[in-house]
Amino acid sequence: FRAVPDDGGLVDADEDKDIKTEASNDSWGNNNANDGRLLSPSPGSSASAGSNKSAAGASEEQQTLLAVLQFLRKNKLTESVEILRREAGLPEDSLEPKGADSLLSRVTASSTAGAQAPTKVAAGEDQPDVNVVLSAYSQQGDPALYEVYYSGLKRFIESVLDCHRAELSQVFYPLFVHMYLELVYNNHESEAKAFFEKFSGDQECYYEDDLRVLSSLTKKEHMRGNETLLDFRTSKFVLRISRDSYQLLKRHLQERQNNQIWNIIQEHLYIDIFDGMPRSKSQIDAMSGSLAGEAKREANKAKVYYGLLKEPEIELPLDDEDEEAENEEGKPKKKKPKKDSLGSKSKKQDPNAPSQNRIPLPELKDSDKLDKIMYMKEATKRIRLGPDNLPSICFYSFLNAYQGLTAVDFTDDSSLIAGGFADSTVRVWSVTPKKLRKVKSAADLNLIDKESDDVLERIMDEKTASESKILCGHSGPVYGISFSPDRNYLLSSSEDGTVRLWSLQTFTCLVGYKGHNYPVWDTQFSPHGYYFVSGGHDRVARLWATDHYQPLRMFSGHLADVTCTRFHPNSNYVATGSSDRTIRLWDVLNGNCVRIFTGHKGPIHALAFSPNGKFLASGATDGRVLLWDIGHGLMVGELKGHTDTIYSLRFSRDGEILASGSMDNTVRLWDATKAFDDLETDDFTAATGHIHLQDNSQELLLGTYMTKSTPVIHLHFTRRNLLLAAGAYNP
C-alpha cells in the first residue's frame, strides 16, 4: 500500500497483520474506489505515488497525510477525504489549504526512482513543487554560453585520465538533456536547436529513442504534458561515480565557477558515490541505458527471500497403473528412490525462502493435490536437458489469425492453449483429444444425481463439446492472458483498461477488474493461484486477488508503461518490466520495490524467473537477454544473438536451459547452467555492485531454431521438458 496515496504509510502496519492472518480480509480491499484515477499518469499523481514512506519520520508522515488529503480535496473526492481524515484522527480544520499546499509541494516531488532509499546528496531541501517543476528551469544563464559551458566540460572530461573519463562521461547525457530543456523552457528556441545539433551526436547510441523525443520538442508549451520529460525532471538521473572521479569533477566545476552546470548537477542529478576503482566503459555501458540512469546501490540492498516455498506434503499413492504397465512390458519392477528424493528435496527448508505464510496462500483443494501428484509423476519422466541433450521443440502455429494474435498462454500441464487477439476476443483450444465442454445450465444441473461417483462428468454438457471456445467481452485488443494454475480460470488484460476473469467451466466472464483505466499490457496469475498481477500504460502494476474487485497492492515507481509482469515462483515477489527500460522487483507483502535492474536499452517485453527462484531473465526490444541475480541484485549475464524484440522467455523445468523467442522468427536456446555456474565461482564485488561481464554469448548459445515466418510470442516447457512455442503464421 505504500504507493496508494490515500492509505499512505499509515495503515500499513495493520495491513501486514491482516495478511498474516487472513488473505481475504476485507481490509485488503479498502482502497478508495478512485485510486485508479489518482494514479492516472498525470505528472502530479505519478510523483505523489512515489511518496516515500520509509524515509519519513513521524512528522513527515503527518505531512504526507495532509498532502494526500489536500490532493483528494482538490480532486473533489470529498468522501475519501472524510474517511481518511477520520481514520487518521485528524481534526477537520487540519486541512488549511495554504499549509497543505506547501506540504504537498514538498512531498510530491520526492524521488520516485529512489524507492525507499533515504535521499542523500541534495535531495529533500529544495524540492520543487510538481506544479512548478517546470519553473525549475527558470533560473537561467546566458543562453549563448550554454554551448561554451558544455564544450568546456567536454574538453575537461576528454583531458582527464582514461580511468576517470568513462565515468565522468556519464554526466554528458543528463547534462545535455537538462541544458537543452532549460533552453527550451526559456524560449531560446534557436539556441536550443543549435545546442541539440551540436552535441546530440556525442550521446550514447542507446539514448537514441529519448533523443528523438527531445529533438521534436522545441517549445515550452510542448513540455507541459510530455510525460517522459516530466519524469526526467521530477526524478533524478542516477549516476554511479567513484569518489575520485567525483572529486575531480567537483573541483573542476568549482574552479571554473561553472555554476550553471553545477546547479544542474545539484538539482537534477543524483550522484551515487562509491569508494574504489573507477569503472570501465564496458562496465558502465552494461548498466546504463534506462530512462533515469542506473539504480542507486541502496535500492538493491533490501533482503529478498528468493528461495522456494516448501512443497506441501502429499501422500503419493502408489502409481499402480504405471507399475503394472511396466511389468506387462516385461521390465523389472523399479524401486522408487526418485520419489523419496523428490520428497526430501522439498522437505528441507531453504534458508533463503520466505516463511511459509509470509503471504497467505490459498489452501490446496483435492483437485490441486491430484494435480500435484500428476505433476510429480510427470516429473519422474522428465528429460534431463543439457548442452548435449537439447529439448525437442513443437511449434503451435496460429493459422488464419487475421484478427492479430497478441498473446498466448499454455496451462502448466500443456492441455490447453489460449490466444488473445487484436479483435478483442480470447480463444481457448484444447490441445489434447479431450474437447472443451461447458457446464450444463442451472436447470439441467438440478436433474443430476449429485451422489453419483461421476458427478463431475455428469455436470458437463456433451452438446457443447468443441475443440475451441471463443470468449467475447473485451472492447479492445487483448494484450495479456494467463491461465490459473488449477485450469479453472483464465485472465485477460486488454486495451480497454480492464482485466477479465473467465471461467473455463462455463466459458463466461466472471469478473471485470477495473482500476487501470488505461490499456493493461500484461497480467499473470500467481503460481499458487488466487492472486494475480497486472501492469499497464498507467505505469502502475497492481496486485489483485480474484475475489476482490479492487487491487490489494499498487506497485508504482516505473517512469513509463509497465509492459510485462511476472510472479516469483514463491509468490512473494512480483517482477515488472517497463518501457522506462528498467525491471523492478516488488515485495507483495508490503508493496516495496526491492530491486531495480538497469541495463536494457529498450522497453522490456519478456521476463522469466529461474525455477529455483534465484535468477531472473529479461528480454527487451534491443534483442538482448539479460540475466540477474536476485539475491545480490546484480546483472550476471548478457545473451546476445536475437535481432529483434524478445517476446518470450522460459526456463526449462529444471532450469538448465533458457529458451528465448523473438520477433526475428527464431527460438534460441541458452545454456543457463553454465551462465549461472560460471559466476558462482566469481566473487561478486557486491560492495560496489560492479560487474565484469565476459562476452560469452556465443558459448552459451546452444541452438538457433528458425520458424516459418512466425514470430515466437510464447514459449512453454511441458512437465517433461518438451519445449512448446507458439505464434501466428505471418505470410
Partner 1 sequence: PHTEMADREERRFAEISRESVKFMAESTGVELGDDVAGLLAEDVCYRLREATQSSSQFMRHAKRRKLTVEDFNRALHWSNVEAICGYGAQDTLPFRSAKEGELFFIEDRDINLVELALATNIPKGCAETMVRVNVSYMDGKGNLEPQGTVPSAVQSLSDDLLKYYQQITRAILGEDPHLMKVALLDLQSNAKIAALLPYFVYVISGVKSVSHDLEQLNRLLHMVKSLVQNPYLYLGSYIRSLVSSVMYCILEPLAASINPLNDHWTLRDYAALLLSHIFWTHGDLVSGLYHQILVSLQKVLSDPVRPLCSHYGAVVGLHALGWKAVERVLFPHLPAYWANLQAVLDDYSVSNAQVKADGHKVYGAILVAVERLLKMKALSLSQQSDGGSSGQTGFAGGSICYRVSSPGLSPPPEPLSEATLGIASHLQAGGAGCPLEEWTPVPLPAMYCELYSFFGDSLAVRFSTGPGDARKEPPGPTSNPDTTRKMPQLTANLNISPRHDGSPRTDPTPPSLAATGSGRSLTRSCSSSSSVQRSRSSSRSGQRSAGLSRDVFPKARFTSSQTGPPAFSFLIGGRQMGLRCQGRRPFQTNFAPTPPLSAVPPRAYAHKLPVIGRVGKPVRRWACSHYSLHLPL
Interface contacts to partner 1, rule CB under 8 A: 212-213, 215-219, 221-222, 226, 389-406, 417, 419, 421-422, 427, 429, 431, 468, 476-477, 479, 495, 518-519, 521, 537, 561, 563, 579, 603, 605, 621, 645, 647, 663, 669, 702-703, 705-709, 711, 713, 724-726, 729, 731
Find the shortest distance in angstroms from Cβ 627 to partner 1: 21
Q: How far apart are CA 173 and CA 177, in angstroms?
A: 6
Count CB-CB contacts under 10 A for residue 448: 12
Which of 116, 493 has the CB closer to partner 1?
Answer: 493
Which of 299, 604 has the CB closer to partner 1?
Answer: 604
Find the shortest distance in angstroms from Cβ 511 to partner 1: 23
Q: How far apart are CA 102 and CA 132, in angstroms?
A: 11
Which of 300, 403 has the CB closer to partner 1?
Answer: 403
Which of 477, 637 has the CB closer to partner 1?
Answer: 477
Find the shortest distance in angstroms from Cβ 521 to partner 1: 6
Q: How far apart are CA 168 and CA 166, in angstroms?
A: 6
Q: How far apart are CA 262 and CA 254, in angstroms?
A: 8
Which of 80, 710 has the CB closer to partner 1?
Answer: 710
Find the shortest distance in angstroms from Cβ 363 to partner 1: 34
Find the shortest distance in angstroms from Cβ 444 to partner 1: 29
Which of 125, 388 has the CB closer to partner 1?
Answer: 388
Residue 92 DSSP symbol: G
User: How would DSSP label each residue in 469-497?
Assistant: EEE---SS-EEEEEE-TTSSEEEEEETTS
Which of 262, 729 has the CB closer to partner 1?
Answer: 729
The sheet that has 615-620: what strands, in order across it? Answer: 604-609, 615-620, 624-629, 634-640
Q: How far apart are CA 353 and CA 308, in angstroms?
A: 5
For residue 542, the cross-strand partners are: 534, 554
User: How would DSSP label each residue in 197-248?
Assistant: HHHGGGS-GGGHHHHHHHHT--SHHHHTT-HHHHHHHHSPEEEEEEHHHHHH
Which of 376, 639 has the CB closer to partner 1?
Answer: 639
Q: At residue 265, what are phi and psi to the nearest 5 degrees? A: -60, -45
Find the shortest distance in angstroms from Cβ 174 to partner 1: 21
Specify whether the CB–CB gap between 175 and 237 falls below 8 A. no
Find the shortest distance in angstroms from Cβ 619 to partner 1: 13
Which of 80, 707 has the CB closer to partner 1?
Answer: 707
Count CB-CB contacts under 10 A for residue 125: 9
Q: For residue 560, which of 290, 207, 174 has the smallest C-alpha distance?
A: 290
Find the shortest distance in angstroms from Cβ 405 to partner 1: 7
Which residues are CB-contacts of 178 (< 8 A; sequence separation ≥ 6)?
Answer: 137, 232, 233, 264, 268
Q: At residue 41, what are phi and psi to the nearest 5 degrees? A: -75, 55
Find the shortest distance in angstroms from Cβ 285 to partner 1: 22
Which of 579, 598 has the CB closer to partner 1?
Answer: 579
Find the shortest distance in angstroms from Cβ 63 to partner 1: 33
Q: How far apart are CA 388 and CA 379, in angstroms?
A: 20
The radius of gyration computed from the CA coordinates of the chain, to the nearest angstrom, equals 27
